[in-house]
Amino acid sequence: MKFFVDTADVAAIKELNDLGMVDGVTTNPSLILKSGRDILEVTKEICDLVKGPVSAEVVALDADTMIAEGRKLAEIATNITVKVPLTWDGLRACKVLTDEGKMVNVTLCFSANQALLAAKAGATFISPFVGRLDDINMDGMELIADIRQIYDNYGFDTQILAASIRTVNHATQCALVGADVMTAPPSVIKSMVSHPLTDKGIDQFMKDWAKTGQNIL
């Protein structure tokens, strides 16, 4: 499973990228706001840092303007993925942009039917929002599994990009049900290394090592 980082914080991306933990990046208008930077400037910096796909989201609601914004964003770098919402206008924009050879991430997916439509429109990625479904007492991970089954049934190439990943358990479950990619905040990815028994084991080893009176260097 590929790891995308869901942030526009360049320093946080660089930290994980240096460890080989970044296969791509996703951004959205809220993350651009949080960064406090110009969208074109910060997206270009991210694209220069990361080799994999970098999702930059359109903000128009009609297809024609989405297409124009998508073309503008795609000029930033060759690894730009244009992000469009899962509406009929978004799907129309997806079809046009993918026909032009651009990568497209269809976002704000909350049903298997929506994911099927996105695949039919040629989406490179579909982004089902796990955490937001959990918020309304629905099983977000069940949606990932349903999309996986449908895509496998019919041989769709669209990659399942599990979004709104909020916990390390979400990460594990995504890998188990077969998401192609998960996108998560840096804090979630960094938390995946933690386990209380690892900490306990290190503490015991250090205590025992101190008793030996030895040094390796």
Query: pLDDT (tens digit, 9 = 90+) per residue, 147-174?
Result: 999 999 999 999 999 999 999 999 999 9
Can you give the residue range of the structural domain that contains 153? 2-212
For residue 217, being part of any structural domain is answered with no
Q: How high does pLDDT run on average in the chain?
A: 97
CATH of the domain at 138: 3.20.20.70
Within a domain: 201: yes
User: Is residue 154 one of the residues assigned to a domain?
Assistant: yes
φ and ψ at 185, to 5 degrees?
Answer: -60, 155
Query: Looking at the domain assignment, is residue 75 inside a domain?
Result: yes
**Does the residue 99 lie in any domain?**
yes
* Active-site residue list: 83
The 10s digit of each residue's pLDDT in 122-152 is: 999 999 999 999 999 999 999 999 999 999 9
Distance CA 101, CA 115 (A): 20
Residue-wise pLDDT for 175-214, tens only, equals 999 999 999 999 999 999 999 999 999 999 999 999 999 9
The pLDDT > 70 percentage for the chain reads 100
Helices (H) and strands (E) in the chain, counts: 11, 8
Number of independent structural domains in the chain: 1
Which pTM value belongs to this model? 0.94
Residue 88 banded pLDDT, cuts 50, 70, 90: very high
